[in-house]
Amino acid sequence: MRRLSKQFGANQILNSVSFEVADGEFCILLGPSGCGKSTVLRLIAGLEQPTGGSIVIDGRPVDHLAPRDRDIAFVFQSYALYPHMTVFENLAFSLRLRGASTVEIESKVRDAARLLEIDALLGRRPQELSGGQRQRVALGRAIVRQPKIFLFDEPLSNLDAALRATMRLELARLHRRLGATIVYVTHDQAEALTLGDKIIVLHQGTIQQIGSASEIYHKPANISVARFVGSPQMNLLEGRMDENGKFFQSKGLRLDLSAVFERPLPRLAGHVLTLGIRAEDLHPTSDQQGWLNGEVELVEDLGSDRFVHLKCADLDLVARAGREVALHQGETLGFKVTPNQIHFFEDGRHIEP
Ligand SMILES: Nc1ncnc2c1ncn2[C@@H]1O[C@H](COP(=O)(O)OP(=O)(O)OP(=O)(O)O)[C@@H](O)[C@H]1O
Ligand SMILES: [Mg+2]
């Protein structure tokens, strides 16, 4: 899509949104509720007309094409299955509309059903299926059409956590097997990071960053991406570097950055900055005197991980602790940072130290 914008009345919903999706790519649109994700999909599908810009598929502008002529399959969050039809008929519906032969329909429906492991359910109606099974039927309906592009709008958001994790894996497998081109909308950053070849982070109708999962996570382009991607949220400390580029001053704390980077940071001397530290890069140490000292307020035990919420001067921070460390509420512990693992933001944008 090229410089796509969309206004509803006086409201600018999308601002000059441009991105490309390569053939066979799993592309994720990630962003908070209301940022314009579904609108982007609806524009691609032709269900909505852009106020400005253009959509090109295979080198051809499709702006003048009706939705049914764009060769795109849309999987909605609500599945939108036909309740009075069996699973078989739901899958066959678009093929029948297209005038496919009975033999072709039979073979395509059976193939899709096998792929999605719903062969045994072909005679049932949607209300006789679980959420995950309905989800698969909705996918199957898109697959039998063999479209150029699949559009998914938060397809897993109706499922419980366990099923969501299973379906996430299945989607990844399916993508690998079909080699399909997918644009997938979600506000769930875990889904985005595990599924996406390419992630596009959208905020208030503007693209914040385009990159691989690893780029988005390890090099967030700005504070809005840093805040949105990663759980728990990245620790963000506002303050100022001293004139020697050694210490960072933040709300009554004086943090020695030259210890974390094993050198002073003269380029940042005197700058007003926001420091970003991920919880997994901040750990308790057995040393009495840590890089910083904080009081344990709360320990969040997730089984595989433990997150320590600590109070440090006037700051609330989160750190990750291994299982071997004893943690007691109210106790003051030393914490250290993984060498070099601090992000710097100036005027909201990521900068190198
Ligand atoms: N038909 C419409 N008329 C007026 N405003 C609309 C219309 N459709 C969407 N909007 C507005 O456009 C903005 C973006 O909506 P959109 O549905 O694209 O968000 P989203 O990112 O998909 O959010 P969610 O995660 O909640 O689904 C919202 O502020 C919404 O209220
Ligand atoms: Mg939406």
Residue that is last in its domain, among 187, 204, 227: 227
Q: Are residues 146 and 274 in the same domain?
A: no
pLDDT at 167: 82
The ligand 1 atom at the shortest distance from the C-alpha of residue 11 is 5
- Same domain for 248 and 181, yes or no, is no
Q: Containing domain of residue 346, as a range?
A: 235-351
Ligand 1 atom 5: residue of nearest CA: 8
- Reading the block at residue 77, the tokens are 């969050």
Query: Are 208 and 299 contained in the same domain?
Result: no
* Same domain? 29 vs 130: yes
Q: What is the residue with the minimal CA distance to atom 8 of ligand 1? A: 39
How many helices and strands (H and E) does the chain possess?
A: 9, 22
Q: Does residue 197 share a domain with residue 73?
A: yes
Q: How many domains does the chain fold into?
A: 2
Whether 211 and 295 map to the same domain: the answer is no
Q: Which of 206, 227, 248 is the last residue of a domain?
A: 227
The answer to whether residues 264 and 170 belong to one domain is no
Distance 259 CA to ligand 2 centre (A): 45
pLDDT digits (tens, 9 = 90+) for 133-173: 898 899 899 989 888 899 999 988 877 888 788 888 888 98
- Domain boundary among the residues 161, 194, 227 is at 227
**Maximum CA extent, the chain:** 78
Q: Which residues does a 6 A CB cutoff place in the pocket of ligand 1?
A: 8, 13, 31, 33-39, 187
Domain containing residue 259: CATH number: 2.40.50.140
Token pair of 140, please?
A: 């199957």
Atom of ligand 1 nearest to the CA of 40: 18
Ligand that comes closest to the CA of residue 43: 1
Based on the fold, state whether residues 84 and 178 are members of the same structural domain.
yes
Do residue 247 and residue 202 come from a single domain? no
With 0.95 as the threshold, say if the pTM is over it: no
- Ligand nearest to the Cα of 39, by number: 1
| Predicted local confidence at residue 174, as pLDDT | 84
**Ligand lying closest to the C-alpha of residue 40:** 1
Cβ neighbors of 159 (< 8 A, separation 6 or more) are: 131, 132, 135, 167
In this prediction, residue 85 carries a pLDDT of: 95
Which of 5, 7, 8 has most ligand 1 atoms within 8 Å of its beta carbon, as the pocket-test mutant?
8
At 21, which CATH number? Answer: 3.40.50.300
223 and 244 share one domain: no
Torsion of CA 286, 289, 294, 299, to 10 degrees: 0
Distances 321 to 98, 253, 300, 331 between C-alpha atoms, Å: 58, 22, 10, 14
Distance in angstroms (rounded) separating the CA atoms of residues 278 and 232: 8
Instruction: Specify whether 203 is located in the same domain as 254.
Output: no
Burial 65-84 (b: 16+ CB within 10 A, else e): eeeeebebbbbeeebebeee
Cα 239 to ligand 2 centroid, rounded to whole Å: 36
Q: What's residue 80's pLDDT? A: 83
- CA–centroid distance, 100 to ligand 1, in Å, is 36
CB 293 within 8 A of CB 333: yes
Q: Which residues in the chain show pLDDT less than 70?
A: 1
Q: Looking at ligand 1, which atom is closest to the CA of residue 202?
A: 21
Residue nearest to atom 3 of ligand 1 (CA): 8
CA-to-CA distance for 115 and 174, rounded, in angstroms? 8
CA–CA dist 312, 139 (Å, integer): 49
pLDDT digits (tens, 9 = 90+) for 108-131: 999 989 888 899 999 999 999 988
The CB density around residue 285, as the number of other CB atoms within 10 Å, is 13
Distance 36 CA to ligand 1 centre (A): 6
Contact 104, 144 (CB under 8 A): no
Does 104 lie in the same domain as 186?
yes
